[in-house]
Amino acid sequence: MGTGPEISRMMLIFFLGLVLGSELIQCSVTYDRKAIVINGRRRILISGSIHYPRSTPDMWEDLVQKAKAGGLDMVDTYVFWNGHEPNPGQYVFEGRYDLVRFIKTVQKAGLYVNLRIGPYICAEWNFGGFPVWLKFVPGISFRTDNEPFKMAMQRFTEKIVTLMKSNNLYASQGGPIVLSQIENEYGQLAKLLGPAGYNYMTWAANMAVGMGTGVPWIMCKEDDAPDPVINTCNGFYCDTFSPNRPYKPTMWTEAWTGWFSQFGGPHSRRPVQDLAFAVARFIKRGGSLVNYYMYHGGTNFGRTAGGPFVTTSYDYDAPIDEYGLVRQPKYDHLKDLHRAIKMCEQALVSADPVVTLSGNYQQVHVFSSGGSCAAFISNYDTESSASVFFNNKNYKLPPRSISILPDCRNVVFNTAKVGAQTSHVRMSPINSVKLMWETYAEDVSSLDDSLTTLTAPGLLEQINVTRDTSDYLWYKTSVNIRSSESFLRGGELPTLIVQSTGPALHVFINGRLSGSVFGTRQQKKFTFTGKVNLHAGKNTIALLSVAVGLPNVGRHFETWNTGILGPVALHGLDEGKWDLSWEKWTYQVGLQGESMNLGSPASFSSVDWLQSSLATQKQQPLTWHKAYFNTPEGDHPLGLDMRGMGKGQMWINGQSIGRYSTAIATGDCESCSYRTNYRPDKCQRGCGKSTQRWYHVPRSWLNPSQNLLVIFEELGGNPSRISLAKRMVTSVCAEVSEVHPTIRNWQNTSYTESENLRTTRAKVRLRCGHFQSISSIKFASYGTPVGTCGSFRQGVCHASTSHHILEKNCIGRQRCSVSISSNNFEQDPCPNMQKRLAVEAVCAP
């Protein structure tokens, strides 16, 4: 066996220079123990996940430019098999699934791509990215040593690799793709499956390498990844991770920036001080690639959310929010971190750290090589600040933080000192858009012959019947009640008990909603128990089982059941229990409105829509609502406020915005500190409110006027409360200390290692959104202000000129900066005290 560099050389093609007759500059991409090596140069790569189908093509350029401005070198995306091949052999590479266009957008911005083909991707995406038809391939078993599965996986992987090659998208061809991934977090499953797991994993690695892409392959969370495939880490922290061979670089493919949400649960917010700390920790231990999962989370449009119960929003508390606006201070604080890391790049890739311990909880990592020197000073004490003596100087660090010194002398960044501004973003109702509703109710009492119906004795598994063409499956049967039953003469009503494998169920007796039950992500199965109002003679029992996203993770999730598997029984009749499980059941896939394509303007059905005033008062379940509206002016992102509604789906001009639910979030929204390790159940927000009230309406889906909005409501809401809102920055805050040694204070945005690292005077910088300016200063205090953004107050020390100076510098401007010095404020309100400037400014269009 050869050495690491030899292996890399063996596996990868070296091409350098211009290809004759073409403008493409081919790159060699290889690796060694320190880093990915691009054209012979080791690189520290900062990357961010942006999933192309989770936004619209007209958003891509802006997202990628924001990623670049945020200091990223690379964009990372999964490839979404079920979006690309909805039916076997029938491919889609258009619209939101135009993978080539997405990669070219990244290329145009000058960034690299990590293409995570999977094709299993997890990602809170329906069925983990697998097309549902795959489940029905005879003899298939997912993600194991199974021929039908391996054949399908290889065919799709080849399809993608060929598409990339034919568009010259690999770096070896002059394109931006420098890395790609096969499988996803297979390690744990491989261990559970034993030899079959190991064989499949090895097959997958060899299959991928055999495709000759000219760039390295990775496998995340797969300790056994065979050479030359690099195993990488995913997690909230990855500083204890090492690759499985000493000649592979240490890479972190998923640094979770927050977490996903589920209907009925709160949102997870990861403090940026903690995220920056985790990244700095990883880099100082020799990590050379960090990918933020997600950098832009986006939206699970249509029925793409995994599940069950993953929300339509996949915001993820990412540095760019669901709507494409930067989230502050996360975005800017990380941008500052990236600059600081990049200033250390030469030293980081050339040297191994020399570590010295200082005190119980402090460490200094020094990377020094051929004239370049970078140091990372860490304070692991979660309670106290620390003073660390290094290079003849004392450095003071807040609790649980790392300072970065790109010249081993001057601190340009500390993970816990956030110099970046905070911004308040709000969904602001657009009063000019009035929605006039018309309504159409599904016919619950009869079966629709135009829909797929089948009759069978007994209860059938839902996905076997629907093949996931709809969320909805009706299970209908009838019962004949004898007129002699005692409950008909004032006795206790019978009880219907329905056991379901979930995830949601509505029970209709003789066409009337009798009750609804929902599972949870943790507990999918549930039982409906309810008194039912039956009459003598024939009664219909109609059970509407609802899928809310198919599972995306778990051992052999393709075999998991959905829908009503029983038993279903009536209790309390004169003869006791009547088990209906093996009665004749009639199945109807989907809703009448779906078969008539009511969500689409192209629907030519002759439906009798009722005017809103009549209909809204009734608030029936299983009701379609439609309204037209003109597009509001401006370019603010738009969201639909679904207040007043229950659960269902929405379409704009025939495009599905996704599922909605206004279920209230229960959870523990305790206070949050960055000082202890983050978990998704820490730092939760939004308890007691709807998990998701607003739903992203992409502007590119709108016409200037007469946009058709269609809602299908399962439970019976009041559409008159639905409104359109725009997402906008309403105010910005900043709080900076007099001597704030972050690189934010530097005049220069471009920098080199040799740049003068003097600590310059601190400044507060404020920036409103596009087409906005600062209209007023809500709060300003140079002195010792207290409180946080939105509730700042003057402290014991305050310069009376504060407000005036801020107004003078900032009013009417989109961005402004104000130096923090007594000279600037024409007075020193408390000599010999360290002062701060805290500001809250209002942004207006």
Total residue length of the chain = 845
Tell me the closest approach of the beta carbon of residue 116 to ligand GAL, in angstroms: 9
Asked whether the beta carbons of 545 and 462 are under 8 A apart, the reply is: yes
Tell me the closest approach of the beta carbon of residue 663 to ligand GAL, in angstroms: 20
Tell me the closest approach of the beta carbon of residue 276 to ligand GAL, in angstroms: 20
Among 8, 56, 181, 184, binds ligand GAL (CB under 6 A): 184
**Closest CB to ligand GAL among residues 256, 694:** 256
Q: How far is CA 811 from CA 115, 666, 761, in A?
A: 45, 42, 22
CA distance 35 to 728: 40
Q: Does 322 bind ligand GAL (CB under 6 A)?
A: no
Q: How far is CA 501 from CA 498, 519, 589, in A?
A: 10, 8, 18
Q: Does 124 bind ligand GAL (CB under 6 A)?
A: yes
Of 399, 292, 378, 398, the C-alpha closest to 335 is: 292
**Closest CB to ligand GAL among residues 189, 427:** 189
Among 80, 102, 260, 472, binds ligand GAL (CB under 6 A): 260
Tell me the closest approach of the beta carbon of residue 682 to ligand GAL, in angstroms: 16
**Closest CB to ligand GAL among residues 310, 743:** 310
Interface with ligand GAL in residues 513-542 (CB under 6 A): none
Q: Does 594 bind ligand GAL (CB under 6 A)?
A: no
DSSP code string of 256-298 = ESS---BTTS-EE---HHHHHHHHHHHHHTT--EEEEEEEE--
Tell me the residue number closest to ligand GAL, measured at CB: 122
Instruction: Report how many residues bind ligand GAL under the rule CB under 6 A.
Output: 9
Tell me the closest approach of the beta carbon of residue 626 to ligand GAL, in angstroms: 35
CA distance 248 to 8: 9
Contact letters (x/-) for ligand GAL, 191-220, by CB under 6 A?
------------------------------
**Closest CB to ligand GAL among residues 554, 688:** 554
Q: Does 807 bind ligand GAL (CB under 6 A)?
A: no
Asked whether the beta carbons of 764 and 774 are under 8 A apart, the reply is: no
Tell me the closest approach of the beta carbon of residue 31 to ligand GAL, in angstroms: 21
Question: Which of the ranges 120-128, 359-367, 474-482, 512-520 carries the binding residues for ligand GAL, by CB under 6 A?
Answer: 120-128
**Closest CB to ligand GAL among residues 112, 260:** 260
Tell me the closest approach of the beta carbon of residue 135 to ligand GAL, in angstroms: 20
DSSP code string of 545-591 = EE--S-B-SSTTGGG---S--S-EEEEEETTEEEE-TTSEEEEEES-
Tell me the closest approach of the beta carbon of residue 294 to ligand GAL, in angstroms: 8
**Closest CB to ligand GAL among residues 291, 363:** 291
Tell me the closest approach of the beta carbon of residue 53 to ligand GAL, in angstroms: 14
DSSP code string of 106-165 = HHHTT-EEEEEEES---TTBGGGG--GGGGGSTT--TTSS-HHHHHHHHHHHHHHHHHHH
Per-residue burial over 85-97, b = 16 or more CB atoms within 10 Å of its CB, e = otherwise: beeeeeebeeebb
Question: Which of the ranges 118-126, 266-274, 538-546, 830-838 carries the binding residues for ligand GAL, by CB under 6 A?
Answer: 118-126
Tell me the closest approach of the beta carbon of residue 687 to ligand GAL, in angstroms: 21
> Residue 718, by phi and psi: left (phi above 0), alpha (psi -120 to 50) or beta?
beta
Interface with ligand GAL in residues 18-57 (CB under 6 A): none
| DSSP run (H or E) holding 338 | helix 330-343
Tell me the closest approach of the beta carbon of residue 542 to ligand GAL, in angstroms: 36
CA distance 238 to 250: 10
Among 7, 109, 123, 841, binds ligand GAL (CB under 6 A): 123
Tokens matching residue 801: 């000129």
Q: Does 345 bind ligand GAL (CB under 6 A)?
A: no
Question: Which of the ranges 119-127, 432-440, 695-703, 792-800 carries the binding residues for ligand GAL, by CB under 6 A?
Answer: 119-127
3-state secondary structure of 29: strand
Asked whether the beta carbons of 311 and 691 are under 8 A apart, the reply is: yes
Among 32, 85, 222, 254, binds ligand GAL (CB under 6 A): 254
Q: Does 122 bind ligand GAL (CB under 6 A)?
A: yes
Which residues are within 8 A (CB) of 645 and not within 5 positions of it... i.e. 6 or more apart? 660, 662, 711, 713, 717, 718, 719, 721, 722
**Closest CB to ligand GAL among residues 221, 835:** 221
Tell me the closest approach of the beta carbon of residue 258 to ligand GAL, in angstroms: 9
Among 145, 185, 583, 753, binds ligand GAL (CB under 6 A): 185
Q: Residues 185, 583, 738, 753: which is the catalytic one? A: 185
**Closest CB to ligand GAL among residues 184, 328:** 184
Of 526, 739, 716, 706, the C-alpha closest to 618 is: 716
Residue 138 CB neighbours (<10 A): 5
**Closest CB to ligand GAL among residues 307, 769:** 307
Question: Which of the ranges 115-123, 211-219, 458-466, 612-620 carries the binding residues for ligand GAL, by CB under 6 A?
Answer: 115-123
Q: Does 126 bind ligand GAL (CB under 6 A)?
A: no
Among 107, 234, 300, 723, binds ligand GAL (CB under 6 A): 234
> Residue 424, by phi and psi: left (phi above 0), alpha (psi -120 to 50) or beta?
beta
Q: What does R_g of the chain's alpha carbons equal in angstroms?
A: 30
Q: What are the strands, taking DSSP E only, across 52-104?
A: 74-78
Question: Which of the ranges 122-130, 411-419, 696-704, 786-794 carries the binding residues for ligand GAL, by CB under 6 A?
Answer: 122-130
**Closest CB to ligand GAL among residues 222, 735:** 222
> Residue 584, by phi and psi: left (phi above 0), alpha (psi -120 to 50) or beta?
beta
Based on the residue annotation, tell me whether 254 is a catalytic residue of this protein: yes
Interface with ligand GAL in residues 618-647 (CB under 6 A): none
Tell me the closest approach of the beta carbon of residue 274 to ligand GAL, in angstroms: 17
3-state secondary structure of 169: coil
Residue 488 CB neighbours (<10 A): 14
For residue 684, what are the β-bridge partners?
268
Q: Residues 183, 222, 254, 345: which is the catalytic one? A: 254
Count of alpha carbons within 13 angstroms of residue 340, beta-carbon side: 30
Indicate the residue type of 158. E
DSSP annotation of 663 reads: P
**Closest CB to ligand GAL among residues 77, 403:** 77
Question: Which of the ranges 18-26, 121-129, 407-415, 454-462 carries the binding residues for ligand GAL, by CB under 6 A?
Answer: 121-129
Chain centre to alpha carbon of residue 299: 8
CA distance 70 to 333: 9
CA distance 446 to 160: 46
Interface with ligand GAL in residues 422-481 (CB under 6 A): none
**Closest CB to ligand GAL among residues 278, 762:** 278
Our CA angle for 835, 327, 692, nearest 5°, is 130
Residue 240 CB neighbours (<10 A): 10
**Closest CB to ligand GAL among residues 363, 684:** 684
Question: Which of the ranges 117-125, 339-347, 640-648, 796-804 carries the binding residues for ligand GAL, by CB under 6 A?
Answer: 117-125
Where do contacts with ligand GAL occur on this chain (CB under 6 A)? Answer: 121-124, 184-185, 234, 254, 260
- Positions annotated as catalytic residues are 185, 254
